[in-house]
Structure 1
Amino acid sequence: MTRLSAEVLAADAAEPITSAGHTQLGIAVLAGIAVIVLLITRFKLHAFLALTIGSLALGAFAGAPLDKTISSFSSGLGSTVAGVGVLIALGAILGKLLADSGGADRIVDTILEKAGGRSMPWAMVLIASVIGLPLFFEVGIVLLIPVVLMVAQRGGYSLMRIGIPALAGLSVMHGLIPPHPGPLVAIDALGADLGVTLALGLLVAVPTVVVAGPVFSRYAARWVDVPAPERMIPQRSAGEPERRPGFGATVATVLLPVVLMLAKALVDIVVDDPGSTVQRTFDVVGSPLVALLAAVVVAFLTLGRAAGFTRARISATVEKSLAPIAGVLLVVGAGGGFKQTLIDAGVGRMILDFSENWSIPAMLLAWLIAVAIRLATGSATVATISAAGLVAPLAADMSTTHAALLVLAIGAGSLFFSHVNDAGFWLVKEYFGLDIGQTVKTWSIMETVISVVGGALVLLLSLVL
């Protein structure tokens, strides 16, 4: 089990900060979300402040002591920034180096040359799916979005037409395919076979990502027609580089974190011995922080020095890359704080208590439980872990195939309708320069399409296999 998964399990098992009944807790959740949406849309308050006030309102409506509410929010904000903030910062540095050196131009020009016109959304979903296979969702966002924004700007494409396929590829891999934390924990909890789950996961993932990516993006582009936000596109500093790095070296640098994380995943499967020196080594070099840090260090040579940058110029590039992401870090961190307040208030347990009396088929039950916990807590990982724990007894008499499908049903449900209590919602909103309504029309509905299509395919497979 990963450290992240262990922390989520510990948080889920902790004593709630309030003794409120289910009715009061449900009202508190709705009130907290309503406060956030109202403050942002009606009073135009910054999302960071709105999320902070909304978390305090949630605690107040739930009858939680103010000090415990503050502690939960602070804990969630800190853990989110600790886990995602460093990755965003490293990604910003890598993006700035790509922009200043001319490496990003090289990638964008090549993509536009090889995959123009109608094939662009398909190219983006393919790239995102390959990159997203071993990567955490947040890392994939950090690596891909700068390229997506530049392709949209340079090629004159609708941002949603190519952005949604990229997000769909990353999200489907995150929710359905091991070695991502959620599917791995569910496989362990249900006693499913990893290889069978991986094979069936890919079978479900391919049509799901096609529908939620290139197909849905046609409608998303009509509903939300916005240009790529200038502030989030890595801007080249004054002064043209002496020369541009080669396409091969640039792509190799961007893919280095992917290779390192994929190597870690393969070693974990093949070696499967936590005490092994080889596995411990790859656990370190394949961790998101080390993998991205390695890419940044390598980029100093393959991008910075290849473009003729001096050490002073590289240092200045790094410094300039960090300022634009301050607001993103605060908003994403506050989203994590609101999510943690929900969890600590006992919302996940409330959903589990309600679901114990549901008498429906196992696959649909697992999907619905994951959906309910996802909507309440905003965390796909929490939804996956909680739902897997609840339906684990059902897997005892299942075949190997059906146990694997139960894992996928939970994974599909855990992606349902991301909204204001999900840090990923705010990450996408800020990177794409959207307002709340636009984010719901695009990102939230895309997540729902993934969940519904993936769940339907799992149910279909359970009937024929």
Structure 2
Amino acid sequence: MSLSPTLLAAAPPALPHTGSNTQLLVAVLLSIGAIVLLITRLKLHPFLALTLGSALLAIVARAPFDKLLTSFSTGFGATVASVGLLIGLGAMLGKLLADSGGANIIADTVLARTGRRALPWAMALIAALLGLPLFFEVGVVLLIPIVLLVARRGNLPLMRVGIPALAGLSVLHGLIPPHPGPLVAVDALHADLGITLALGLLIAVPTLIIAGPLFARVAERWVGPLAVPEATAPAETEQREHTPSFGAVLATILLPVVLMLGKALVDVVVDDPKAGLQRAFDFIGSPLIALLAAVLLGMLTLGRAAGFSKARISTTMEKSLGPIAGIVFIVGAGGGFKQTLIDVGVGNAVSEWSSKWHISALLLGWLIAVLIRLATGSATVATITAAGIVAPLAADMSSTHAALLVLAIGSGSLFFSHVNDAGFWLVKEYFGMSVGQTLKSWSVMETVISVVAIALIMPLSLII
């Protein structure tokens, strides 16, 4: 996915700066440091922190303030235009899945056909399926009651089924569109979304196996026995006479993935922009159309199948958009910060430094994302900022290597979640763990995902 010609045409001219590359480096460090301080110490909303950080960046780089406003607003608008619609459609599909009972249908069907020894693998599969259309926090709220129920019924240690479920959600959150972080990185680096999705799934499967069911055995020993809290019904899910079928739920969840992968396959096989088949798949495989098709299908296969009236479906759609307003503004401000980074010349300076240091662009993107993740606790902020800094390095890359750069940044954004990450506390409270136990399980699991993913990405970049 890339910016439209209109948005590209409206891009502001580069912000002039009178300092050296060293001054630009100081400007970047100060602006990122300010964002970190505002978010972690002063508890300022990331939207405001990113906005103020952009202003500080331009001021230290000695760029004209009026040009800064144009640069930031253009980056904000372009990012919201390209990503905000997709976040909204994803939220609608996730809300339908939650309210209709579709999430429970997936879980109950898989668990009914799974033996006790295979339950950790089943939980990883369930989390991966539900993680495709759901934001991480929503997925946690839906999955945790299922995890607790499975642990209790199967008489299994909580970590053995909990870690695979959390790994499934986290891997999808960091690597696979249409989650906000990967979408923003695809847009910033002008990567092909279909190729990114295909390579992301290729990387995600072995990463999930290692960080999920396999690491769960280790985490179980490190954390020790945990009392399984009483399982509660998933949020906003009620007992009802009518429920969607497993096949219909699965088809609805996988539809956008199939359409986007189909576009990528046709692009490779046909490779003729004028061919009717490729033009058709370019349309139906675009993320906007693919997600829109899934939402429209979900209104029938999830909403109507659950017995919802037209008014109830409309209400569900409306309620889905409220909680994502903050996400959209954070992503938009991140786009403004990214555009400011580019326009003051930071990207060009990074290109010069990376050529002198002979460091791989993939490894550089991963390292920058790791540092910002450790400092801010936000995977989305880490992805947005890192993508903006290394964006010029993707200009001369092939489509596959640009996609791998997206994945490298996404994997770096997951590194070692700790006390400054809301997800850390969410997991701690739901599982009834201490801070130390959460660090030994959840935090290490996130690090395993990050390290395994980049360890797979780097050699893959040498052969494709």
Indicate the residue corresponding to 2:295 in structure 1: 296
Indicate the residue corresponding to 2:324 in structure 1: 325
Give 1:243 shift.
0.8
Indicate the residue corresponding to 2:171 in structure 1: 168
Indicate the residue corresponding to 2:236 in structure 1: 235
Separation in 2 of the partners of 1:117 and 1:92?
33
Separation in 1 of the partners of 2:137 and 2:452?
20
Match of 2:455 among 450, 453, 456: 453
Separation in 1 of the partners of 2:247 and 2:16?
53
Match of 1:418 among 413, 421, 425: 413
Separation in 2 of the partners of 1:164 and 1:198?
18
Separation in 1 of the partners of 2:397 and 2:261?
30
Give 1:63 shift.
1.5
Separation in 1 of the partners of 2:354 and 2:260?
36
Contact 2:365 2:409 in 1 (8 A): yes
Aligned pairs for 1:388-427 (under 5 A) are 413-415=408-410, 417-418=412-413
Give 1:323 shift.
1.5
| Structure 1 residues 185 and 220, CA gap change in structure 2 (3 angstroms) | farther
Give 1:220 shift.
8.5
Give 1:390 shift.
6.2
Q: Unaligned regions of 5+ residues in structure 1, if any?
A: 133-139, 175-179, 188-193, 228-232, 393-402, 421-427
Give 1:372 shift.
6.5
Indicate the residue corresponding to 2:155 in structure 1: none
**Per-residue displacement from partner, 1:319-344 (whole Å, max 9, x unpaired)?**
22222222222222222222222222
Range with bigger deviation, 157-166 or 51-60: 157-166
Contact 1:164 1:442 in 2 (8 A): no
Contact 1:100 1:235 in 2 (8 A): yes
Separation in 2 of the partners of 1:162 and 1:110?
16
Indicate the residue corresponding to 1:65 in structure 2: 64
Match of 1:154 among 146, 149, 152: 146
Give 1:453 shift.
1.5
| Structure 1 residues 458 and 105, CA gap change in structure 2 (3 angstroms) | closer
Indicate the residue corresponding to 1:37 in structure 2: 36
Aligned pairs for 1:25-424 (under 5 A) are 25-114=24-113, 119=118, 122-123=121-122, 140=132, 142=134, 146-147=138-139, 149-156=141-148, 161-168=164-171, 171=174, 207-215=206-214, 235-236=236-237, 240-358=239-357, 365-371=360-366, 378=383, 386-387=392-393, 413-415=408-410, 417-418=412-413
Range with bigger deviation, 76-85 or 208-217: 208-217
Contact 1:17 1:65 in 2 (8 A): yes
| Structure 1 residues 95 and 234, CA gap change in structure 2 (3 angstroms) | farther
Give 1:120 shift.
5.4
| Structure 1 residues 185 and 115, CA gap change in structure 2 (3 angstroms) | farther
Separation in 1 of the partners of 2:91 and 2:460?
38
| Structure 1 residues 311 and 452, CA gap change in structure 2 (3 angstroms) | closer
| Structure 1 residues 270 and 114, CA gap change in structure 2 (3 angstroms) | same
Give 1:67 shift.
2.2
Contact 2:17 2:62 in 1 (8 A): yes
Give 1:47 shift.
1.9
**Per-residue displacement from partner, 1:393-421 (whole Å, max 9, x unpaired)?**
xxxxxxxxxx99x889867654563389x
Percent of residue pairs identical: 45
Partner SS, residue 279 of structure 1 = helix
| Structure 1 residues 206 and 292, CA gap change in structure 2 (3 angstroms) | closer
Contact 1:243 1:307 in 2 (8 A): yes
What letter matches 2:143 in structure 1?
V
Query: Normalising by the residue count of structure 1, what TM-score does the alignment of the two structures yield?
Result: 0.69
Separation in 1 of the partners of 2:288 and 2:110?
28
| Structure 1 residues 18 and 368, CA gap change in structure 2 (3 angstroms) | same
| Structure 1 residues 368 and 252, CA gap change in structure 2 (3 angstroms) | closer
Contact 2:128 2:168 in 1 (8 A): no
Instruction: Provide the alpha-carbon RMSD of the alignment.
Output: 4.9
Contact 1:220 1:441 in 2 (8 A): no
Give 1:249 shift.
1.2
Contact 1:164 1:217 in 2 (8 A): no
Give 1:46 shift.
1.7
Separation in 2 of the partners of 1:13 and 1:73?
9
Partner SS, residue 42 of structure 2 = coil
What letter matches 2:167 in structure 1?
I
Give 1:269 shift.
1.8
| Structure 1 residues 378 and 322, CA gap change in structure 2 (3 angstroms) | closer
Contact 1:328 1:430 in 2 (8 A): no
**Per-residue displacement from partner, 1:301-332 (whole Å, max 9, x unpaired)?**
21222222221222122122222222222222
Partner SS, residue 18 of structure 1 = coil
Separation in 2 of the partners of 1:165 and 1:321?
23
Separation in 2 of the partners of 1:352 and 1:11?
24
| Structure 1 residues 214 and 328, CA gap change in structure 2 (3 angstroms) | farther
What letter matches 2:171 in structure 1?
A
Separation in 2 of the partners of 1:48 and 1:337?
10
Contact 1:204 1:458 in 2 (8 A): no
Give 1:167 shift.
3.0
Contact 1:161 1:218 in 2 (8 A): no
Separation in 2 of the partners of 1:390 and 1:429?
37
Query: Normalising by the residue count of structure 2, what TM-score does the alignment of the two structures yield?
Result: 0.70
Partner SS, residue 244 of structure 1 = coil
Aligned length: 412
Separation in 2 of the partners of 1:432 and 1:282?
42
Partner SS, residue 20 of structure 1 = coil
Separation in 1 of the partners of 2:308 and 2:200?
45
| Structure 1 residues 107 and 129, CA gap change in structure 2 (3 angstroms) | closer
| Structure 1 residues 243 and 167, CA gap change in structure 2 (3 angstroms) | same
Give 1:52 shift.
1.5
Q: Unaligned regions of 5+ residues in structure 2, if any?
A: 149-157, 178-184, 229-233, 373-381, 416-420, 429-434
